[in-house]
């Protein structure tokens, strides 16, 4: 144990170094300024100056989601801290390990409505695993070590540490390693043996099992164990929006994504199953539709590291609290013994599912308005970039098409805002991913609406030599909102036209904007130009690249289950009848 006298600011930087932090995304201001001074001297931490604190938060998310490590962002008090709130909420919904450090006004000023004061601990309490307020410099090492432990263990998530300015300026003995004592925090990672046996027995008895795989598989790094389990049982696998890449798309047992815009085989498999083997998924409403009619004939094995998720939406016949990788490892061992003498017969189940796969392949209709088909553009980005690339999507139609038409073969290759649905996520998340995985090709696939929320981070990318590729799927509108207006509001397009690509205005001109930010800007309006533009982007690594793909505003995301209705009401195309009526 070493003892040294440091300022609180120095203690912050020293603690982060000793905790293994290598990258921080942030923006300085008065209340955090003392910490930025020793940060300048750090040889171990690379600080990346963003243009907006929300960008810092999403960049830290992208870094964490691409690497599996902790993402760190830093901001000043008041508006600096509140600008992080969206990213913190996003990380909370999607279980992203995130440490947000904020400066706070001096401790004697708290509660006086001082300049740039905001109760960020109170504001973020519902959207963090924990929020700390530090008013003494001697508490800094223990608090930061505790914050990292909480953010990265159990169900990962965001932790906020708010540090007053006087705590940063005052001196105190720096003790490392600190004593971390969290008596109320004891995440369970190892499953109960009897629950493993009960799960194995249900699997053995099942005739129509489905592996319902959520993002917890990716967060726990359980993809290899999942593959072994799937092949051991022989059951179909569906991967939620947050789990794309957890199970290879090329594997014949993968039915694709379930839910509101899931594949027909995936949606139907859940509805018709007699056993849901639910791994790191939380029965989100976008997957279940109307919960009363969701998979009514199925028993449920529910595996989750967060006990609060089990039984929250759907009763679990076999609840298993534990880390997904630990649970699946033990379940595989148990199944090898159980299945040695008897294996479930699911041949009829596969015959039914294979028929669905053949009858309802994932596809799209080419548009006839002279514009590009957005699905084709995204499909070509995936085909030319390959499974080793990383794809970060914004929110809306382009997000769904990216989940549908890019083939994901490995975890941590698909980044998106699943739970919160945050517009503006893509560009800064791609930036963070590229910082964490500099040798990988990183795409931000964005809409013209989302892109305009955080495109200022292209300046950050250019200055810091972070050569991401940005594909703007430009339909000159808020596409998903417009789709709902088409389907449910009698084509009354109230305030969804953005004037970015379908008329002479082109406000803004994304190619000129890219040039202004020091990027290579390309516009693609013809199908024969698509591949060449994508290849040029891939080959250009001395600066970021922005491709403005002018696509049809009439293209829609199919299949679709309307919000709040039964998954039995899935539609394969506009005005189509449900693809099945409950009978085969």
535 is catalytic: no
Percent helix, strand, coil in the chain, to 5, is 40, 20, 40
> Which is the catalytic residue, given 25, 53, 104, 469?
53
Q: What is the largest CA-CA distance in the chain?
A: 74
Active-site entry in 17, 22, 69, 116: 116
Give the whole-angstrom CA distance, residue 73 versus residue 169: 20
User: What value does the CA radius of gyration of the chain take, rounded to a whole number of Å?
Assistant: 25
Q: Are 86 and 57 in contact (CB under 8 A)?
A: yes
Q: Which of 480, 506, 556, 560 is catalytic?
A: 480
Tokens of 331: 């379940």
What is d(CA 549, CA 451) in angstroms, rounded to the nearest whole number?
13
Residue 271 is a catalytic residue: no
CB half-sphere exposure, 113, CA atoms < 13 A:
0
- 343-381 burial: b if 16+ Cβ within 10 Å, else e: ebebeebbebbeebbeebebebeebeeebbbbbbbbbbb
**Distance (Å, rounded) from C-alpha 134 to C-alpha 185?**
19
Active-site position among 4, 44, 115, 336: 115
Q: How far apart are CA 68 and CA 76, in angstroms?
A: 26
In angstroms, rounded to a whole number, what is the distance separating the alpha carbons of residues 564 and 146?
40
Q: Is 388 a catalytic residue?
A: no
Q: Angle of helix 374-385 relative to helix 530-539, nearest 10 degrees?
A: 40
What is the rounded distance in angstroms from the CA atom of residue 503 to the CA atom of residue 474?
Answer: 12
Known active-site residue 431 = no
Q: Active site residue: 61, 104, 165, 283, which one?
A: 165
Beta bridge mates, 321: 304
User: Given the structure tokens 């890019």, which residue do they identify?
Assistant: 406
Q: Which residue has the tokens 């001074």?
A: 37
Question: Quick one: which of 416, 450, 456, 451 has its CA closest to 433?
Answer: 416
Active-site residue 399, yes or no? no
Positions annotated as catalytic residues are 53, 115-116, 165, 480
């Amino acid at each position: 144990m070493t003892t040294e006298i440091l300022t609180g600011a120095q203690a912050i930087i020293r603690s982060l170094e000793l905790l293994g932090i290598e990258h921080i995304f942030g923006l300085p201001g008065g209340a955090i300024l003392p910490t930025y001074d020793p940060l300048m001297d750090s040889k171990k931490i690379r600080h990346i100056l963003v243009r907006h604190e929300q960008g810092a938060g999403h960049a830290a998310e992208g870094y964490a989601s691409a690497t599996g490590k902790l993402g760190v962002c830093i901001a000043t008090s008041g508006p600096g801290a509140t600008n992080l709130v969206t990213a913190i909420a996003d990380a909370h919904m999607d279980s992203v390990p995130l440490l947000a450090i904020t400066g706070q006004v001096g401790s004697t000023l708290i509660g006086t409505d001082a300049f740039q004061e905001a109760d960020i601990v109170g504001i973020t309490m519902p959207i963090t695993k924990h929020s700390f307020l530090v008013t003494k410099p001697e508490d800094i090492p223990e608090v930061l070590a505790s914050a990292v432990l909480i953010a990265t263990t159990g169900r990962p998530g965001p932790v906020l540490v708010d540090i007053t300015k006087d705590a940063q300026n005052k001196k105190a003995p720096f003790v490392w390693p600190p004593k971390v004592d969290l008596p109320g925090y004891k995440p369970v990672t190892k499953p109960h043996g009897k629950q493993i046996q009960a799960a194995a027995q249900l699997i053995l008895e099942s005739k129509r099992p489905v592996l319902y795989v959520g993002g917890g598989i990716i967060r726990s790094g359980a993809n290899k164990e999942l593959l072994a389990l799937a092949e051991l049982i022989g059951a179909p696998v569906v991967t939620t929006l947050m789990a794309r890449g957890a199970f290879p798309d090329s594997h014949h047992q993968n039915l694709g994504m379930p839910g509101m815009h899931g594949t027909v085989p995936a949606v139907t498999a859940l509805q018709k199953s007699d056993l849901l083997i639910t791994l790191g998924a939380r029965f989100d409403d976008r997957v279940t539709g109307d919960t009363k009619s969701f998979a009514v004939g199925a028993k449920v094995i529910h595996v989750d590291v967060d006990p609060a998720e089990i039984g929250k939406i759907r009763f679990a016949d076999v609840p298993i609290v534990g880390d997904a990788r630990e649970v699946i490892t033990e379940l595989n061992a148990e199944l090898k013994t159980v299945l040695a003498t008897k294996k479930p017969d699911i041949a009829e189940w596969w015959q039914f599912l294979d028929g669905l796969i053949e009858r309802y392949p994932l596809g799209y209709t080419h548009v006839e308005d002279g514009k590009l088909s957005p699905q084709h553009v995204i499909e070509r980005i995936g085909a030319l970039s390959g499974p080793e690339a990383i794809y970060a999507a914004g929110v809306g139609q382009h997000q769904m098409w990216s989940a549908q038409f890019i083939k994901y073969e490995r975890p941590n290759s698909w980044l998106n805002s699943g739970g919160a649905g945050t517009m503006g996520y893509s560009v800064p998340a791609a930036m963070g991913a590229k910082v964490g995985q500099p040798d990988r090709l990183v795409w931000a696939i964005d809409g013209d609406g989302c892109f305009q929320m955080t495109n200022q981070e292209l300046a950050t990318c250019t200055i810091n030599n972070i050569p991401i590729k940005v594909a703007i799927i430009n339909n000159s509108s808020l596409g998903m909102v417009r789709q709902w207006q088409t389907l449910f509001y009698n084509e009354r397009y109230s305030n969804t036209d953005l004037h970015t690509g379908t008329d002479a205005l082109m406000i803004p001109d994304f190619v000129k904007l890219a040039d202004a930010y020091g990027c290579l800007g390309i516009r693609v309006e013809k199908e024969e130009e698509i591949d060449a533009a994508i290849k040029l982007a891939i080959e250009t690594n001395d600066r970021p690249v922005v491709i403005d793909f002018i696509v049809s505003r009439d293209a829609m995301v199919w299949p679709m289950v309307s919000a709040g209705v039964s998954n039995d009401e899935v539609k394969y195309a506009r005005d189509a009848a449900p693809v099945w009526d409950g009978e085969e």
